[in-house]
Structure 1
Amino acid sequence: MENLKILGLCGSLRKKSTNMGMLRYARAHVPEGMTIEIADLSHIPFYNEDIKDKPSSVEALFQQMSEADGFLFACPEYNYSIAPALKNALDWASREPSNLLLNDKPAAMMGAGGGMGTSRAQYHLRQVCVFLNLHLLNRPEVFCNAFANTFNEESELIDPKIQQLIEQQLIALKAFSQKWQVPKN
Structure 2
Amino acid sequence: MSLFITVGSTGFDNLISQVTSQEFLTSLVRFGITKVRVQYGTSNDIYVKNIQAYDGPRIDITGYRYKASVTEDMEEADIIISHAGSGTILQALRLNKKLIVVVNKALMDNHQNQIAQAMESRNYAVCSDIGDLLSTVQRVQKTSFELFPVAKPEIFAAIVDEQMGF
| Contact 2:86/2:115, CA 8 A, preserved across alignment | no
Report deviation, 1:167.
Answer: 1.9
Map Cα deviations across residues 144-184 of structure 1 (whole Å, 9 max, x no partner).
xxxxxxxxxxxxxxxxxx2xx222112112222xx47xxxx
Q: How far apart, in 2, do the equivalents of 1:24 and 1:112 lie?
A: 17
Q: 1:13 aligns with which of 7, 10, 13?
A: 10
- Aligned pair 1:171/2:134, yes or no? no
Report deviation, 1:28.
Answer: 4.8
The corresponding residue for 1:142 is 129
1:111–1:125 Cα change, 3 Å: closer
Output aligned runs, 1:120-139, within 5 Å: 121-127=112-118, 129=119, 135-137=124-126
Report deviation, 1:18.
Answer: 1.8
Report deviation, 1:5.
Answer: 1.4
Q: Sequence identity, in percent?
A: 8
1:36–1:111 Cα change, 3 Å: farther
- Residue type of the alignment partner of 2:125: L
| Contact 2:31/2:138, CA 8 A, preserved across alignment | no
- Residue type of the alignment partner of 1:13: T
The corresponding residue for 1:105 is 97
- The structure number with the bigger radius of gyration is 2
| Contact 1:6/1:70, CA 8 A, preserved across alignment | yes
Q: How far apart, in 2, do the equivalents of 1:137 and 1:113 lie?
A: 16
Report deviation, 1:7.
Answer: 1.0
Report deviation, 1:126.
Answer: 4.5
- Residue type of the alignment partner of 2:75: S
Which residues of structure 1 form unaligned runs of 5+?
A: 43-55, 76-85, 95-100, 144-161, 181-185
Superposition RMSD on alpha carbons, in Å?
3.9
Q: What SS is found at the alignment partner of 2:74?
A: helix
Q: 2:68 aligns with which of 58, 62, 68?
A: 58
1:102–1:6 Cα change, 3 Å: farther
The corresponding residue for 1:157 is none
Q: Matched residue pairs, number? A: 117
Which residues of structure 2 form unaligned runs of 5+?
A: 43-65, 146-166
The corresponding residue for 1:39 is 39
TM, length-normalised to structure 1: 0.46
Q: How far apart, in 1, do the equivalents of 2:80 and 2:7 lie?
A: 11
1:103–1:172 Cα change, 3 Å: same
